[in-house]
Amino acid sequence: MKKLVFATGNIHKGYEIEDYFAKLGIPVEVVEFEFHEPEVNDISVVSQSKVLEAYNVLQMPCFVIDSGFNIWGYPNNPGYPGAFVRRSGISENIDELLETMKDVENRDCEFMDCLTYYDGSDMNIFYGLDKGTLTHEKLGTEDIKMRSKLWFVFKPLGSDKTLAQMTDEERAQRKGNHVSAKEAFANWYKLTIMNTISRDRHPS
């Protein structure tokens, strides 16, 4: 079996993914990759494009995660930035975001994830959703596993802390409106891929 690879343009996301899957007994190699993302505001389309691009270069089973962030009360542009988080530069300009949103009452927002796995023949897609609210100030400390600086201002529903204030355990165990794409993929991968390999190696 060829090793499982996570291709990403965000090495901090890579640290988080590597650690998460290692705890589940799934070895993952993180490969930094410079993607040519389509100019489409749809994380599913972007994710599928990226995994095909990565597979064509790496020639081994791999997966990618594309993320979006919707701010429903963003002035004159509800849902901004959507799939264009990286290209908008919003996560690198948190102070500017807070200034723009300072008088906005509707601070509902959400992270979206689309994890796509491709083995050269079949593509499997898993979705994640994390609803919350935008704080009025930056809260928390920077961590090597921080996927986005939006963690400083994103408070998940049902929590009194931002993602940046939470411990690894608190982030992993939060429930409520949180649906994890990587958890769904890990469960599927262990059941479908790893069990198949085990049966092939140890036939009854």
> Which backbone phi and psi does 81 adopt, to 5 degrees?
-95, 0
**Residue 153: exposure state from Cβ atoms within 10 A (0-12, 13-18, ≥19):** buried
d(Cα 8, Cα 33) in Å, to the nearest integer? 5
* Beta strands at 28-32 and 108-118: parallel, antiparallel or unpaired: unpaired
In total, how many domains does the chain have?
A: 1
Question: pLDDT tens track of the chain, all 204 residues?
Answer: 457 899 998 888 888 899 889 989 899 999 999 998 899 999 999 999 999 999 999 999 999 999 999 999 999 999 999 999 988 999 999 999 999 999 999 999 999 999 999 999 999 999 999 999 999 999 999 887 788 899 999 999 989 999 999 998 888 777 666 888 999 999 999 998 766 554 445 455
- Listed in order, strand segments (DSSP E) in the chain are 4-8, 28-32, 62-71, 80-82, 108-118, 123-134, 154-156, 178-179
CATH code, 21: 3.90.950.10
Q: For the chain, how big is the Rg over CA atoms in Å? A: 18
* Per-position b or e across 193-202, b if 16+ CB within 10 A of its CB: beeeeeeeee
| Distance, CA of 163 to CA of 145 (rounded, Å) | 11
Distance in angstroms (rounded) separating the CA atoms of residues 11 and 8: 7
> What's the pLDDT score for residue 193?
76
Residues in the chain: 204
pLDDT of residue 1: 46
The token duo for 70 is 């919707």
The whole-number pLDDT of residue 31 equals 95
The C-alpha atoms of residue 102 and residue 19 are separated, in whole angstroms, by 36
Give the alpha-carbon dihedral of 43, 68, 175, 98, to 10 degrees.
Answer: -170
pTM of the model: 0.84
Range of the domain at 178: 4-201
